[in-house]
Amino acid sequence: MSNATRRLPIVTLAILALSIAGCGPTAPSASPSIAAPSSAPSAAATASPSAPTATVVPAATPVASAAAVSCDLTPQTGQLPSDRLTGMQILGVPGSDLVRFQFSPGSPTPAGAPMGSLEIATPPFTEGASGLPIDLQGDHALQIVFRHMSLQNDAGEETYTGAREMRTDDPSRSLRHAVIFDESEGQIGWYIGYDGPACVTLGREGADVVVSIAYGPGS
């Protein structure tokens, strides 16, 4: 894959989710690795034909009936499982939207320690290489960046071949939009847009990094 930023056609999905924990006013842990979440979602997922590496599970708790959940987002950084992002799994559990980033074993000679960060994103939202505007949907915006990534495997093929832009207008969900804004020079950056009050956390589960947007009971 070339180092140029690329965009593919929009893929409409019902739910989304992300990763690297940091919710609440408490300062982030000094540990260089991403903390594991206390429990994994139990919902089973089914494959989406339009995005082979993404899966979706319907929500069980509508936003309209959920109690307001909100906390301050503290910017977080942490070491990633490897330098090769290979897929994304999208899940919905009661009260939360999740995005699970899947990593394969790392390259033999990584460019550096693979690191990830999660922070609030502020407009204008633009593509990293072209500077073209991105119409990010949602009342609130997150920015997730993976650095020191291997964008090609040993055979020179794309390491990540999943969907690069996803939207939903499902009123039972909080997450509205996820889009890659940069995919070059060893970096992969995502914007995430969501509605309503929520508590955003970033955690690690084995070789996966999971972003959770919790908006109601049962998360």
Give pLDDT tens digits for 147-186. 999 998 888 889 998 889 988 888 888 999 999 999 999 9
Provide the token pair at 85.
Answer: 């992002």
pLDDT of 104 strictly over 90: yes
Cα angle, residue 167 at apex, residues 146 and 190 outer, rounded to 5°: 10
Question: What integer pLDDT is reported at residue 11 of this predicted model?
Answer: 38
pLDDT above 70 covers a percentage of the chain that reads 68
**pLDDT value at position 46?**
31
User: Phi/psi at 65 (nearest 5 deg)?
Assistant: -100, -5
Q: What is the pLDDT, as a whole number, of residue 37?
A: 41
pTM score, two decimals?
0.70
Work out the average pLDDT over 187-209.
Answer: 92
Asked if pLDDT for residue 194 goes beyond 70, the answer is yes
Write down the pLDDT at residue 92: 78
Q: What is the mean pLDDT of residues 23-31?
A: 37
Residue 68 has a pLDDT of 55
Q: How far, CA to CA in Å, does 62 sit from each of 84, 133, 137, 170?
A: 35, 31, 19, 10
* pLDDT tens per residue, range 47-100: 333 333 343 333 333 333 334 577 888 898 989 999 999 988 778 788 999 989
What per-residue confidence (pLDDT) applies to 217?
64
Selection from 73, 55, 63, 127 nearest residue 96 by Cα: 63
**Average of per-residue pLDDT values in the chain:** 74
Per residue in 115-149, pLDDT tens?
A: 999 999 999 999 988 899 999 999 999 999 999 99
Tell the residue number behind the tokens 């690795």, with chain if given: 33
CA 53 from chain centre, in angstroms, equals 13
Where are the chain's structural domains?
A: 11-26+51-214
Q: With helix as H, strand as E and coil as C, how does the chain read? A: CCCCCCCCCCEECCCCCCCCCCECCCCCCCCCECCCCCCCCCCCCEEECCEEEEEECCCCCCHHHCCCCCCCECCEEEECCCCCEEEEEEEEECCEEEEEEEECCCCCCCCCCCEEEEEECCCCCECCCCCCECCCCCCEEEEEEEECCCCECCCCCECCCCCCEEECCCCCCCEEEEEEEEEECCEEEEEEEECCCCEEEEEEECCEEEEEEECCCCC
Name which of 64, 46, 112, 55 is nearest 89 in CA terms.
Answer: 55
pLDDT tens-digit series, residues 33-48: 454 443 444 333 333 3
End-to-end CA distance of the chain: 38
